[in-house]
């Protein structure tokens, strides 16, 4: 699967000031996050739903003997749900001491991006949204959003992220 993200970058990758990122997609939008934060990427295991949690928490899953929560990033970002298919992946992220899973539509290869290509999030975007958007990068036709997973997935921030990322005002009858 030659991802458009991966291609076109490998040539300029070896210079100094280049970082590695894992790219993934949600409803057609491409995101990246820092590779140091990623523990592994797995095909979704059986997820057990748990009560008293918002819908974006898909449940908990067994990662080789450790029980990790699995966050459905689509629902967290207020996007419509999508059934699991062959491309669906769970990214296992280290958030401080915690290990958490994030379900995304698909994961592309690791990309190297020179640091100067990463632009900080514009004020207008940063003002409304919590600080989980660390910056943007343009690669060819693609606009990549760089996520700060530490901030995004801190359990105390999840609700705020969810509220802030709802595309429409919360009138759409979501109980």
Task: Kindly state whether residue 67 participates in binding other proteins, applying the rule CB under 8 A.
Answer: yes
Cβ-contact 5, 142 below 8 angstroms: yes
Determine the interface stretch with other proteins among 25-33, 48-56, 107-115, 160-168 (rule: CB under 8 A): 48-56
Q: Using alpha carbons, list the distances in angstroms from residue 144 to 13, 21, 65.
A: 17, 11, 34
The whole-angstrom separation of Cα 74 and Cα 147 is 14
Task: Kindly state whether residue 166 participates in binding other proteins, applying the rule CB under 8 A.
Answer: no
Task: Kindly state whether residue 174 participates in binding other proteins, applying the rule CB under 8 A.
Answer: no
Task: Kindly state whether residue 120 participates in binding other proteins, applying the rule CB under 8 A.
Answer: no
User: At its nearest, how many Å lie between other proteins and the CB of residue 156?
Assistant: 9
What is the per-residue burial (b if ≥16 Cβ within 10 Å, else e) of 128-137? eebebbbbbb
Task: Kindly state whether residue 69 participates in binding other proteins, applying the rule CB under 8 A.
Answer: yes
The whole-angstrom separation of Cα 87 and Cα 48 is 20
Complex with other proteins: residue 23 or 101, whichever CB lies closer? 101
Task: Kindly state whether residue 51 participates in binding other proteins, applying the rule CB under 8 A.
Answer: yes
Residues 90-109 that bind other proteins (CB under 8 A): 98-100
**Strand 98-104 relative to strand 106-114, pairing:** unpaired
Q: Write the Ramachandran bin of 31: left for phi over 0, alpha for psi from -120 to 50, otherwise beta.
A: beta
Cβ-contact 94, 13 below 8 angstroms: no
Task: Kindly state whether residue 43 participates in binding other proteins, applying the rule CB under 8 A.
Answer: no
User: At its nearest, how many Å lie between other proteins and the CB of residue 59?
Assistant: 8
Q: Which of 2, 14, 28, 46 binds other proteins (CB under 8 A)?
A: 46
Residues that bind other proteins (CB under 8 A): 45-46, 48-55, 57, 59-62, 65-69, 98-100, 155
């Amino acid at each position: 699967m030659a991802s458009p993200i991966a291609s076109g970058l490998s040539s300029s990758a070896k210079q100094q000031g280049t970082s590695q990122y894992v790219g993934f997609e949600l409803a057609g939008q491409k995101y990246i996050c820092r590779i140091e934060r990623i523990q592994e990427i797995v095909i979704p295991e059986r997820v057990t739903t748990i009560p008293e949690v918002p819908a974006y928490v898909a449940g908990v899953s067994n990662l080789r003997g450790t029980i990790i929560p699995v966050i459905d990033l689509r629902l967290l970002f207020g996007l419509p749900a999508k059934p699991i298919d062959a491309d669906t992946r769970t990214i296992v992220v280290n958030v401080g001491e915690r290990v958490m899973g994030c379900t995304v539509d698909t994961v592309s290869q690791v990309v190297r991006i020179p640091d100067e290509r990463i632009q900080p999030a514009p004020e207008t975007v940063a003002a409304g949204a919590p600080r989980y958007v660390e910056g943007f990068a343009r690669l060819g036709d693609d606009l990549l959003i760089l996520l700060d997973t530490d901030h995004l997935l801190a359990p105390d921030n999840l609700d705020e992220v969810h509220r802030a990322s709802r595309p429409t005002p919360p009138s759409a009858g979501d109980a």
